[in-house]
Structure 1
Amino acid sequence: MGRRSLLSGLAASVALPSFALAAAKDDKRPIALLVPLTGARARLGSSMRQAALLAENGQYVQTFDTGGTAAGAAAAAAKALKAKVALILGPLTAEEVPAVSSTIAGRVPIIAFSNDSVLRAPNTWIFGITAGQVTSAILRYARTRGVKSVAVIDDGTPWSAAATVAAGRMESDLGIAVQVLKPDQALPETAPDAILFPGSGETMLAAARRFKESGAQLLATLQGLDHRPQALEALEGAWIASPDPAAFGTFAAEFEARNGGGAGTITALAYDAAGIANALRKAGTLGGEGLLDSKGFHCVTGPVRFRTDGSVARDFAILVARVEGYEAVAVSSGS
């Protein structure tokens, strides 16, 4: 299963967030969607545009091609400014975000799809699912279940590195002891209460199999979701923080019915961001102040709340891995 896709075959019995088409009395200002329509990520950019049009009235969505480069993103942002947009959705990558932020210079709110939390700033919100978000969510849940010590398995990938940093920052907040191990390292003589596997792939699955009999609770993030029988066997009993799979399955089914092809997590982010714009338009609060509404927004990728520093808090489902699949058992907040 691809790292960017989530349980797309689940039942479509869960209702999508209500992003109805705007009525005639609503704010008429357009929003800008900055995505790559040319270049290596053109197919993804096209899927994101299709998803956005599921959530917001097409007459209000103006799409600008970034080409997937910083220069292209800056040019797209300049065009968006000339179009007098009320909100910018995008760009996609970490490379493009600073170029857009500097071009916009605080004049229009930006909801960027990158998951690089370092790039957040006032009026530039990082909307991608970050390693810090899912790590904090799974550790908060684990702490409520009595976990007081955690070993984090760092496989050397950027995602695992970010998760390791996030876990370390939460030690004092949660009253939890964190130690970091490489996948091939042995557990200390006194085993931790839980072992967190932030990453994915065969290296992490091999480590999970090796530590399964240690008596420690296995923890994972959405990166580790894997439907292969051998993966489910290795992760059986693990607690995993992820967007709610039923809600995502409903969105994926609607996207496929309307557009053909599958929808991944990033495509869902475009749907959610456009849906937020639609909700703000209907409420007459299309802009930065509306984004900071303390009630937040219900999204396919999890309920979100925007903060003044450009960070986004997101709630995740807690799944338990079973031999037959994943079961949602709780909800936990990630920040």
Structure 2
Amino acid sequence: MMFRRLLPLLLAATLAACAQPKVSEGPAASQGNPATAQSDTWVTRPGEKEQITAAPQGAIEPQPLDPATPLPDAGPAPVLPPPVVIGGGIKIALLAPLSGRNAAVGQALQNAGELAVFDIGTEGFVLLPIDTEKAGAAAAAQEAIRQGAQAILGPLFAAQVPEVATVAMPANIPVITFSNDRMVAGPGVYVLGLSPLQALERTIAFARNRGYTDFAALVSDDALGVRVGAMVQEFIPASGGHLAKVETYSAGTNDFSSVARRASGGAAKEKTGPGYRALVLSESGPKLKQLAPWMPYHNIDPALVKVIGTPTWDDPSLGSEPGLAGAWFAAPDPAGRAAFEAKFRDTYGRVPPRVATIGYDGVALLAVIARMTNGPNFTPDQLTNPSGFAGVDGIFRFLPSGISQRGLAVFEVQRGGGKMIEGAPGSFEAVVN
């Protein structure tokens, strides 16, 4: 019952605080000419086009996904403020890239955490920002323990999580990573970032409820694509659907005409459908815009096939792609973060990157637990309570496996941006996915 009171407590506190292929035959260049688009990873990096409707053009916009490549140089390391201290006693380490190429993202995570301390933290709550880049993630974890941290938030990148966990586990200190990679979750290691796999599962379940039974998947051979391919082979049959095929293509390809033709079975220009009614894609960013025009040309017509994508599709520019008209994707409800973004902008004079919300939610979660009369008690029983917590990006909870589960809304790609067609759940009483 204590955690049933904690969920509305965190919700109320948060709301109050934030109150090269041939193109002579096929799609026109205006629809995303495959010969002119550039390759990219599935994370938006600083300087790319803003993908969230509520944030201004030019903001840093990584979805809560691990960058596949380093972000562009953020310039000199910022001058960091001292740790946020209210009194002294409960110490939480925040491990992030506070110097180097990813310093802008790390600084945003720290700033978001500071907001949560001042909004929710009680007397004696201390936030210890520690850089993971100067001496490495393991050294950062050792410094956290030296300073008496009782829990660790971070690191940002999945590759650093084992380094931190190796240091933290013998000291019985939980690690709540900002990564979204479910593969790094485990005993004492909790993944706070939004997994694209969970978002795809949410949308597939939504499609099943709308009567879609026959699915296919078109995935690249990079890390994300391989995991999406494995997920659909398990999840779709388990949900009562039929998986017709999983088509894989090279992540380095520029011949998206051939990719789309293989996915359709080669029946170009025949409007009878490719033999399935829903197609799951792992692609995003500029390469998605290279692929999209070829899909209807090769019989994957949006009038016949429902396309399903990842949270990175929360991009208003996708509405101009006819091949993605009416496509579905799951993502957090943007209404919850609008006030947070406004407060961050007013406080720090800049628009927060999309990932900043998990910095706020991570600190807020631990601050709420620290308020308990018997706290702080950052044990697995406390962190994995099934009632969950309410944050800027909606409700979330940690499963015993360390994977996080989030309440997500479902959106439809339309001109001008994604339109919400099913809202996010308000509690975990009903099944989220």
TM-score of the two chains, using structure 2 as the length reference:
0.68
Q: 1:187 aligns with which of 257, 264, 286?
A: 264
**1:133-144 map, 5 Å:** 133-144=198-209
C-alpha deviations, 1:233-285, integer Å up to 9, x for none?
44221111111122233322221121122222322111111111122122344
2:183 matched to which residue of 1? 118
1:95 matched to which residue of 2? 159
1:309 aligns with 2:401: yes
- Range with bigger deviation, 267-276 or 56-65: 56-65
1:205 shift after superposition: 3.1
Distance 1:213 1:227, change over 3 A: closer
The one-letter code matched in structure 1 to 2:173 is V
1:272 aligns with 2:374: no
C-alpha deviations, 1:127-150, integer Å up to 9, x for none?
122222112111111111111121
TM-score of the two chains, using structure 1 as the length reference:
0.86
Paired residues, number:
322
Q: Where does the alignment leave 5 or more consecutive residues of structure 2 unmatched?
A: 1-41, 57-83, 250-258, 266-272, 426-430
Q: Say whether the 8 Å CA contact 2:302–2:324 is kept in structure 1.
A: no
The one-letter code matched in structure 2 to 1:180 is V
The 1-side partners of 2:189 and 2:237 are apart by 28
The one-letter code matched in structure 2 to 1:317 is A
1:53 matched to which residue of 2? 114
1:291 matched to which residue of 2? 383
The one-letter code matched in structure 2 to 1:312 is S
**1:36-47 map, 5 Å:** 36-47=97-108
1:130 aligns with 2:192: no
Q: Secondary structure at the match of 1:283?
A: coil
1:10 shift after superposition: 6.3
Q: Say whether the 8 Å CA contact 1:265–1:301 is kept in structure 2.
A: no
Q: Secondary structure at the match of 2:136?
A: helix
1:3 matched to which residue of 2? 44
Q: Secondary structure at the match of 2:138?
A: helix
Q: 1:31 aligns with which of 84, 92, 95?
A: 92
Q: Percent identity?
A: 25
1:90 shift after superposition: 0.4
Q: Say whether the 8 Å CA contact 1:240–1:319 is kept in structure 2.
A: yes
1:235 matched to which residue of 2? 324
The 1-side partners of 2:194 and 2:320 are apart by 23
The one-letter code matched in structure 1 to 2:91 is P
1:85 matched to which residue of 2? 149
The 1-side partners of 2:154 and 2:263 are apart by 43
Q: Say whether the 8 Å CA contact 2:203–2:308 is kept in structure 1.
A: yes
1:164 shift after superposition: 1.9
1:155 aligns with 2:220: yes
The 1-side partners of 2:190 and 2:348 are apart by 28
2:78 matched to which residue of 1? none
1:215 aligns with 2:304: yes
Q: Say whether the 8 Å CA contact 1:98–1:119 is kept in structure 2.
A: yes
1:300 matched to which residue of 2? 392
2:348 matched to which residue of 1? 259
Q: 1:226 aligns with which of 311, 315, 324?
A: 315
Distance 1:154 1:166, change over 3 A: same
Q: Where does the alignment leave 5 or more consecutive residues of structure 1 unmatched?
A: 12-20
- Range with bigger deviation, 89-98 or 253-262: 253-262
1:199 matched to which residue of 2? 283
Q: Say whether the 8 Å CA contact 1:56–1:277 is kept in structure 2.
A: no
The 1-side partners of 2:328 and 2:182 are apart by 24
Q: Secondary structure at the match of 2:347?
A: helix
The 2-side partners of 1:7 and 1:252 are apart by 11
Q: Say whether the 8 Å CA contact 2:177–2:189 is kept in structure 1.
A: yes
The 2-side partners of 1:237 and 1:52 are apart by 37
Distance 1:231 1:273, change over 3 A: farther
C-alpha deviations, 1:147-180, integer Å up to 9, x for none?
1121112133322222222111203320122221
Q: Say whether the 8 Å CA contact 2:318–2:413 is kept in structure 1.
A: no
C-alpha deviations, 1:204-226, integer Å up to 9, x for none?
23443422346011211112232
1:8 shift after superposition: 4.9
The one-letter code matched in structure 2 to 1:32 is A
Distance 1:334 1:165, change over 3 A: farther
RMSD across aligned C-alpha pairs, in angstroms? 2.8
2:229 matched to which residue of 1? 164
Q: Say whether the 8 Å CA contact 2:190–2:398 is kept in structure 1.
A: yes
